[in-house]
Amino acid sequence: MESAITESGTDINRAAMLLLDDALVAIPTETVYGLAGNAFSPSAVTRIFQTKNRPVFDPLIVHTHSLEEIRGFVTVIPPVVERLIEEFSPGPLTVLLPRNHKIPDLVTSGLPLVAVRIPRHPMTLELLRALPFPLAAPSANPFGYISPTTARHVLDQLGGKIPYVLDGGSCEVGVESTIVGFNGSRCEIYREGGISQEQLMAICGPLGKVYQSSSSPSAPGMLLSHYAPRKTLYLGNLDALLERFKGVPVGVLSYDTPVQAPNILASAVLSPEGDLSAAAQRLFACLRDLDQSRAQVLLAESVPDQGLGRAINDRLQRAAIKEA
């Protein structure tokens, strides 16, 4: 179902009415914007997959306002998960829990576990409290492209396809939530994100497996190529890359230090102060700007591999071309 005009604004009531009517609405969260629909409605969930061109083997995250609401659609919440939720929610944490009959198969791509999170954005929390159901919401971008961190980003790509974008400003965290599963009482990381390994370990002790990106859909959420700009992006040492692409019009993304060369058409520095939170917040907007520049190829460097830096590096690796 296409909507000729997509409006954006701050009308939470309007967003609620549309969602009650089984329509889709883009919502702000502290991580990235989501494309939301009633998680209990197979028709709304089907429309989410269609609107994003998302393959049905890639399951969705269910957004809710409280632990109480979660209890209504899962069979059990193990103590370690309850501790994590208490510590990090609302916030950029997603946990995997066994679902009950209320969650349609489509939401989890048939898997027995459902991904759940309580987002921290005040407008979306108010919206969730006003609704009698939780919201299934993937990031509000066409499948495989860079996630949106402003209402403008959503309009640029989904304009004409959904009736409303709830505009909550720029996302505060800027990278998606950390997805955590459990093997016995051990936490396993399915996707690095806004909660760091260090923060998780402080609550649940040593981590089990940390799944790496793969091209196999049997490791959900971990597609090797994802979060990708349309231009080819090379990740590595910037001096070496600039030497290699001498004379080619390039766009450059650096961590804390600007680089100079005559063939640089566009450039962005993630955080001149070397602050990983600030870098995460700006990452996707910088990638979008560079993608829209007149550069032919994009060059980027990794950031320090600690704290939020791991999530940033994960997104850069998945955005980059894989060379043998």
Q: Which residues bind ligand TXA (CB under 6 A)?
A: 29, 31-32, 34, 58-61, 92, 94, 96, 108, 111, 113-115, 119, 137-139, 176-177, 179, 190, 220-221
Instruction: State the binding partner of 221 from ligand TXA, Mg ion, none, CB within 5 to 8 A by kind.
Output: ligand TXA
CA-based nearest residue to 32, from 306, 280, 231, 299 = 280
Q: How far is the CB of 14 from Mg ion (least distance, A)?
A: 25
Considering Cα of 303, then 309, then 310, then 316, what sign does the dihedral take? negative
In this structure, the dihedral spanned by the alpha carbons of residues 41, 165, 70 and 65, taken in order and rounded to 10 degrees, is -150
Q: Which does 299 bind (CB under 5 to 8 A by kind): Mg ion, ligand TXA, none?
A: none
Choose the contact partner of 58 out of ligand TXA, Mg ion, none; CB within 5 to 8 A by kind: ligand TXA
Which residue in the set 29, 124, 139, 281 belongs to the binding site for Mg ion (CB under 5 A)? Answer: 139
Q: Minimum distance from CB of 285 to ligand TXA (Å)?
A: 16
* Token pair of 149 as six digits: 């961190």
Q: Alpha-carbon distance 324 to 316, whole Å?
A: 17
Residue 96 contacts which entry, ligand TXA, Mg ion, none (Cβ below 5-8 A, type-dependent): ligand TXA
In angstroms, give the least distance from the CB of 147 to Mg ion: 5
Cβ-based nearer residue to ligand TXA, 301 or 310 = 310
Comparison of 176 and 291: residue with beta carbon closer to ligand TXA: 176
Binding part of the chain for Mg ion, among 10-18, 40-48, 134-142, 290-298 by CB under 5 A, reads 134-142
CB of 292 to ligand TXA, least distance (A): 21
Strand 135-136 versus strand 164-166 pairing type: unpaired
Residue that is written with structure tokens 């091209």 in the block: 215
Tokens of 12: 């939470």
DSSP, collapsed to helix, strand or coil, labels residue 292 as: helix
Inter-CA distances, 309 with 112, 193, 242, Å: 31, 9, 23
The three-state secondary structure class of 119 is: coil
* Partner touching 134 among ligand TXA, Mg ion, none, CB below 5 to 8 Å by kind: none
Tokens standing for residue 47: 């429309």
- Which residues are near Mg ion by CB under 5 A? 139
